[in-house]
A and B are shown apart, each in its own frame.
Chain A
Amino acid sequence: MPIDQLVQVLVFVVMTFMTLGGGLGVVVSRNLFHSALFLVLSLGGVIGYYVLLDAGFLAAVQLMVYIGAISILILFAIMLSPGLMMQHQSQRNEQWWVAALVGVLLFVVLAVVLGQVQWPVADAQALAAPNAQVSQLGVALLGPYAIPFEVISVLLLTALVGAIILARDTAD
């Protein structure tokens, strides 16, 4: 196949390994800090998917918000919990075989269902030129989607107020 398609497939495979491998690492790793770092790896893999889907803005936002802010929040929470970092726990308990069975069944069900869904495929021409995409997003955010835009700010305000109330309660 032509070289640029080959590169795309290669990038897709690498990103899939990052995402799935990271996810696996989160669950399997015995050290909580390592789990958090695997989570960061997994989120990083998603950046590659966004790039392959021509969503450069979302890729940069994923990096900026998920890896630059939320991962740090998670890491702080882990690092500030006394003693949590030093424990190395076994990842299994007595019921692991039930969990594995349920997991495999869920996978089979999902695979069958997802294979049969008629995914709507957008036209290639429906995507505007890259430099118009972000401004289209901006126009959309303040035009048809203005109410969600304002609701988001209220949501952020609520989240902040709630978090501060909770944090102050435990600290005082």
Chain B
Amino acid sequence: MRSEFVFVGILVVFSMLLPAAGLGFAWLIRPKKPNPIKKSTYECGIATSSDAWVQFRAQYYIYALVFVVFDVEAVFLLPWAVAYNQLTAYAMLESVVFVAILAVALIYAWRKGALRWS
């Protein structure tokens, strides 16, 4: 199985070369005239007011959290899906239970308002 990833390794190397080549080439031919106004942060054309940090919105974190749970669930469902043909009907029941428990998790999150933007 190792040999399958050789191509990925080669492509990683080449794909890192593309931005390098592009940026290098652009560095050669683009104008370089920095001045403080150009280099200041963009805020709709007016002077910036404060350092950039965002209001603490726990909601972003909760979305990422629910995503982690469902990502791990998907990881466990993948070998099941590959082996499905060789499994018995009892295995189908087991996995329906698995998905059902996680559906309960989604419903819980939904009802508790964890998935609400506001």
Q: Which of A34-42, A54-62, A102-110, A113-121 contacts B (4 or more CB under 8 A)?
A: A54-62
Segment 73-128 of A: residues with Cβ below 8 Å from B? 73, 76-77, 79-83, 85-86
Residues of A within 8 A of B1 (CB): 54-56, 130, 133
B43 within 8 A of A: no
| B43-83 contact mask (Cβ, 8 Å, vs A): 1 or 0 | 00000000101101110111011111101110110111111
Residue of B nearest to A152 (CB): B76
Residues of A within 8 A of B98 (CB): 149-150, 152-153
Decide: A142 near B58, CB < 8 A? Known: A135-B79, A137-B83, A149-B76. no
The 19 sampled A-B contact pairs (Cβ below 8 Å) are: A59-B5, A65-B71, A69-B64, A69-B68, A80-B54, A134-B78, A134-B83, A135-B86, A137-B79, A138-B80, A142-B87, A150-B101, A152-B98, A153-B102, A156-B73, A156-B102, A161-B108, A167-B62, A170-B58
Which among A65, A141, A168 has the greatest number of chain B C-beta atoms within 10 A?
A141
Bound CA–CA A138/B68 (angstroms): 21
B95 within 8 A of A: yes
Distance of B13 from chain A, by nearest CB (Å) = 11
Residues of A within 8 A of B73 (CB): 153, 156
Residues of B within 8 A of A146 (CB): 91, 94
The count of residues in chain A whose C-beta lies closer than 8 Å to any C-beta of chain B is 55
Kindly state the interface size class of chain B when it binds its partner.
35 or more
Residues of B within 8 A of A79 (CB): 54
> A interface vs B, CB < 8 Å?
7-8, 11, 51-52, 54-57, 59, 61, 64-65, 68-70, 72-73, 76-77, 79-83, 85-86, 130, 133-139, 141-143, 146, 149-150, 152-154, 156-157, 159-161, 163-164, 167-168, 170-171
